[in-house]
Structure 1
């Protein structure tokens, strides 16, 4: 039963729609944390005992292609975000690097406890388990990005939803193109760390 399409469809809806929405409802934080923990544990167990997602090691050509395309996108996005912060909250522009040790420590914690779990859940697990429902590549990427954005609903910030949707599009496209968890984690880390560095971390709940 666990691998039937109907069960997977229900599972997708519960994990990626119901759980994120439930986290914004008015009920104890302990319950929300417990629900999130059980949800992620469920994903791990399904991955180990049923899904067996493949972790593709990118070769040299994939790395070079990825780095070239990511560099171009990053320069454009980094400039746009820096200008946005400068125009809206100039006092926050790069203010986090005034304490370099705390800044570097957070970047490591963010990568380990946010980037890696999110990319495992939203790209590696999602594509391995639910790609079967989407015959159209663009629809798959669009839905994945939308659900990734929905996963940040608890921040209660429209700008966060927009940024995470755009990020979701980039990450989903990268994973679809390369099938590499490593590359998409690196990409997510780059953009997430830049958001914090440029001064937009507060809206995402980053320590400031």
Structure 2
């Protein structure tokens, strides 16, 4: 009975609306962005339980799929990242110059902490929710043709809560890149690695300010 409820299409539809739209709206309206990591991990816990018990009772290593760290996959990721990092630098330099290398100027030690914790505390749970969970959970609701773009749209909306233009603007492109990587490889580890590359680059350049809860204050 419980399994039928959680696998019901109507329940899934309500669930995707709640996770993708309602929760970000609540965070936005109540200015809860400072607590985003706690909220993110709460949602991740829920999605992991649903994923594990009702979709893939699999070993964690199989979900991570480290075998996807191939020369070909990494070459594509690094070439794309190198080019887009230059674009990020130009955007920061010309339009947000006051934020360029802001962490290095004000609290350089913080950058090291971000580089170490961001991949695990932020990139990993986001990619589990918006790729691993999303692709498995909603494949019967969203056609394969559109699932990448739906994942990216919800990923973008999740960043509206930071109350600025740059976070959702960059997130829609990031969401498409990450969803495509996951669809191609099925690797949570690889897409988390790619997400962390871009996330840490944003913080290094200065635009990470707009992806931080403190930016709404």
Which sections of structure 1, spanning at least 5 residues, go unmatched? none
Q: Relative to structure 1, is the Cα distance of residues 43 and 109 closer, same or farther in structure 2, using a 3 angstrom cutoff?
A: same
2:37/2:121 contact within 8 Å kept: no
| TM-score, normalising length: structure 2 | 0.83
Q: Does 1:11 align with 2:15?
A: yes
- Counterpart for residue 138 of structure 2: 130
TM superposition shift of 1:51 = 2.3
2:40/2:126 contact within 8 Å kept: no
TM superposition shift of 1:101 = 3.5
Q: Relative to structure 1, is the Cα distance of residues 96 and 16 closer, same or farther in structure 2, using a 3 angstrom cutoff?
A: same
**Bigger shift: residues 113-122 or 41-50:** 41-50
Q: Relative to structure 1, is the Cα distance of residues 34 and 93 closer, same or farther in structure 2, using a 3 angstrom cutoff?
A: closer
TM superposition shift of 1:37 = 5.8
TM superposition shift of 1:33 = 8.5
**Bigger shift: residues 141-150 or 91-100:** 91-100
1:36-65 CA-partner distances (Å, limit 9, x unpaired): 6654432232123222265152436x5212
Give the whole-Å Cα distance in 1 for the aligned partners of 2:111 and 2:35. Answer: 31
- Counterpart for residue 163 of structure 2: 156
TM superposition shift of 1:100 = 4.8
- Counterpart for residue 124 of structure 2: 116
TM superposition shift of 1:171 = 0.2
CA RMSD of aligned residues (A): 2.8
| TM-score, normalising length: structure 1 | 0.86
Q: Does 1:203 align with 2:210?
A: yes
Give the whole-Å Cα distance in 1 for the aligned partners of 2:186 and 2:16. Answer: 20
SS in structure 1 at match of 2:7: coil
Q: Relative to structure 1, is the Cα distance of residues 101 and 30 closer, same or farther in structure 2, using a 3 angstrom cutoff?
A: closer
SS in structure 2 at match of 1:132: coil
TM superposition shift of 1:136 = 3.4
TM superposition shift of 1:133 = 1.8
Give the whole-Å Cα distance in 2 for the aligned partners of 1:69 and 1:156. Answer: 32
Count how many residue pairs are aligned between Structure 1 and Structure 2.
206
1:201/1:207 contact within 8 Å kept: no
Which sections of structure 2, spanning at least 5 residues, go unmatched? none
Give the whole-Å Cα distance in 1 for the aligned partners of 2:186 and 2:123. Answer: 17
